Structure 1
Amino acid sequence: MQILLIDPPFKRFTGFIHRYYPLELAYIAATLKLHGFSEVAIFDADVINRGDDIDFSDEYQRLSMYMSGLNDKNHPAWGEMKAVLDKYKPAVACISASVTRFGSVMKTAELIKEYYPDCVVVVEGQYPTLRPDDPFKDKNIDMVIRGQSETTFLRLVCSLRDRLELSDIPRLSYRQNGEIIHNPDTATPEDINVLPAREALINIDSYTGEDMGMMVTSRGCPFRCAFCALVWNGRLSNQSIVQHRNIDSVIEEIRFVRDKFNTTQFIFYDNSFGVSKERTVELCERIIKEGLNINWSCATRVNLIDEKALKLMKLAGCNLIKIGIESGSERVLGIIQKGISIDLIQRAANKLNKSGIFWGAYFMMGLPIETEEDMKATYTLMKRINPPHAGIFLYTPYPSTRLFEMGVEAGVYCENIEINQFLTRHPRDYFLVDPHRRTNNIEPERFQQISHELLSKFYWHNVRFGSIVRQFLSRRRMYLRNGKMLWSDIAKGIRWITKRV
């Protein structure tokens, strides 16, 4: 049975940089291979002819290019997809589906069914977990997996192979006699100590060593942010339960990837790294003891920043910490249930600035409850805490989250949209009643003006000479081992700066 796991095209339609391999699909592939399914391949449609633009300040405008590529049958991405389908002739295809990429999922499913109508098309990931009924509005989608996918997909392909009933497969949704059946969820967690099957990637030579360094040391998040798709739907899929990997398994994967792909820069892609201080200390001590000689990055929260842990993290090779702050408004932080305060943010920033580790602070704008004063407060806080790098992004509404419900109550978001709007609307505008209005508290023209000002101010904050030098120095270990990455980063940096000057 030939199984094809697909990460559909998205960034390549815009020219933005595409980094890392599809980790979730690699876990699915590993689980299948461990149970005897040898004919498994992963197609990452963004990795071929990928862009290298790292300036996301005009992301909204550039994403308009996505709609053009998505609906252009002659775009190379769809020709490449067809070539892969013809080579592997899958009996089962599993497509990874986020909210913003769902148009790509629909076009991929359409292409599969056009040429291989008997192929079973399954979608998994963020959007089908949030809204398991919605994918079935597309006739080309046969089944949906809700929540973590490895065990459910394994049981599904076993049942298809052996012609067994589907009713006892947890977290599976499917059509039966004109009805949509949602099998119950399960409390059984996945085995995250399995090493992702990077070798199943079709275009493995298109990735750099750094791309292959994405891995997790834990899964899940115990916090309750009102905007987060993972946590709020976690009440259905157990993704709010934190699973820690066995540290021996983490060390084994680091060593394997370092030696096989010449990787010196890793990213620990945990939902909230450092939930357990004791475990963070233990992991860092093992990395030091084993003499792995790597660098790594992680994402965490200000309330998890600890001075002792920071010192060990730096010694263990941590050279980048990403912090989700979201807003500089105490009022907004309370409404979105972030669980932090401005005072806590400032204290954590002081520790980070003192640590010597390069770090970035990340914010959102365009929340349905946001005011002009809130947006201004975000910039004020960013300048006060003075991170080496700062990012601000347009908020994307995620259905089934509490913040989405607030937007519906305010009349800013639609509870539902027609399925064809995923093919005709800008991906940041899904579920908006009026694509030009993101909050009732700011007129669209004024919001556009403020958002452009913020993007410009954040950009100029990031191109300060000291910040650029610190960022390059933080990656020097990788550059010493792989000179190509140095010249690649220099080229990207020059393009980023000259584009705006």
Structure 2
Amino acid sequence: MKVLLINPPRFHELIGKNPAIVEKHRGFNPPLGILSLAGYLEKHSDHELTVVDAQPEGWNYEEFEEVLRRKMGDVVGITAMTFTLIDVMKTVQLVKRIHPEAIVVLGGPHVHIFPEETINQPGVDFLCQGEGEITFLKLLENLTNYDELERIPGLVFKRNGRIVNTGISPSTQNLDLLGFPARHLVDYRKYTSLLGKNDVITTMFTSRGCPYRCTFCDRPYSPVI
């Protein structure tokens, strides 16, 4: 199966703007969420994987659509952050216009804060709540078996007009089971310091989760660590 994972553009960020001089020179970090997802799929399946990170590319929407036409998958996973939600939904619309039969799956902090609101958005077929690696692979293995899908933790979808929410997926205790992010699926030269574009950098996970419950974060909606 062809699987496309997308980090959408952020033309319409729902946050305050930095001064233009700061925005002009701001770099980008690699999208470790979808790269970790891709790494797990490479380790445990034979699906054909493609990653598109639109944020460091500087594409307009016409260019972005052309890239999606070339790389479209049967299943499309999209990172959903609250502050990029407008661009997330525009990306969903592009995917469905190019390939109406594509299965669109959203993951990320926004979906487990607002699962019902998100699954009701046009074009959204499934949500993955919480850590997505194991949940997403099980979804791919059972796309047409809705009885089995209802038993997989971490999914939200519609069945016979009702919303099915199986809860947030449990945290993975042994990170060695997940493998490494599939960094080879993106151009590492695109990622530079958030403080400037002079030096190539990367980032890494050293742990997962957080014991705190800050009200401005999505952690209060996630499993307790």
Q: One fold, TM greater than 0.5?
A: yes
Once the two structures are superposed, residues 433-465 of structure 1 have per-residue CA deviations (whole angstroms, 9 ceiling, x without a partner) of xxxxxxxxxxxxxxxxxxxxxxxxxxxxxxxxx
Match of 1:132 in 2: 115
Structure 1 residues 362-392: Cα deviation after superposition (integer angstroms, max 9, x where no partner):
xxxxxxxxxxxxxxxxxxxxxxxxxxxxxxx
Matching of residue 215 in structure 1 with residue 204 in structure 2 = yes
Determine helix, strand or coil for the equivalent of 1:196: coil
Structure 1 unaligned blocks of 5 or more: 50-75, 242-501
Query: Does the 8 A contact of 1:19 with 1:211 survive in 2?
Result: no
The 5 Å alignment of 1:247-262 reads none
- The aligned residue for residue 33 of structure 2 is 24
Matched residue type, 1:214: T
Which residue number in structure 1 is paired with residue 85 of structure 2? 102
**Residues 153 and 166 in structure 2, CA contact (< 8 A), matched pair in contact too:** yes
Q: Residue 164 of structure 1 aligns to which amino acid in structure 2?
A: N
- Distance in 2, matches of 1:148 and 1:195, equals 15
Alignment match of 2:154 (pick from 171, 181, 189): 171
Alignment of 1:329-368 (within 5 A): none
Of Structure 1 and Structure 2, which has the larger fraction of its residues in helix? Answer: 1
How has the CA–CA distance of structure 1 residues 211 and 93 changed in structure 2, closer, same or farther, with 3 Å as cutoff?
A: farther
User: Which residue of structure 1 aligns with residue 196 of structure 2?
Assistant: none
Between the two proteins, the alignment pairs up a number of residues equal to: 207
Q: Find the counterpart in structure 2 of residue 35 from structure 1.
A: 44
Q: Do the aligned residues in 2 keep the contact of 1:12 with 1:18 (CA within 8 Å)?
A: no
How far apart are the structure 2 equivalents of 1:157 and 1:141? 16
Amino acid across the alignment from 2:221: N
How many Å apart are 1:228 and its aligned residue? 2.3
- Preserved CA contact (<8 Å) 1:5 1:25: yes
Is the counterpart of residue 197 in structure 1 residue 182 in structure 2?
Answer: yes
Aligned 8 A contact 1:170 1:183 in 2? yes
- How far did 1:82 drift? 1.4
Counterpart residue type for residue 207 of structure 1: Y
Q: Say which SS state the counterpart of residue 213 (structure 1) adopts.
A: coil
The TM-score with structure 1 as length reference comes to 0.39
- The one-letter code matched in structure 1 to 2:212 is F
Work out which structure has the larger RCO, using CA pairs closer than 8 Å and 6 or more positions apart in sequence: 2
Mark the CA change 1:112 to 1:122 in structure 2 (over 3 Å): closer, same or farther.
same
Is the contact between residue 131 and residue 170 of structure 2 (CA under 8 Å) also seen in structure 1?
A: no
Residue identity (%): 30
Query: 1:113·1:140 contact (CA, 8 Å) conserved in 2?
Result: yes
User: Any idea what SS the aligned residue of 1:86 has?
Assistant: helix
Match in the other structure for 2:53: 44
Given the two structures, how large is their TM-score scaled by the length of structure 2?
A: 0.83
Take 2:50 and 2:206, find their aligned partners in 1: how far apart are those partners? 24
Structure 2 residue 78 is the aligned partner of structure 1 residue 78 = no
What CA deviation, in whole Å up to 9, does each residue of 1:206-238 have, x standing for no partner?
A: 3359655200111111123232222x112xxx2
1:457-498 alpha-carbon deviations (Å, 9 max, x no partner): xxxxxxxxxxxxxxxxxxxxxxxxxxxxxxxxxxxxxxxxxx
1:2 is aligned to 2:38: no
Does the 8 Å contact 1:26/1:197 carry over to 2? yes
Structure 2 runs not aligned, ≥5 long: 194-198
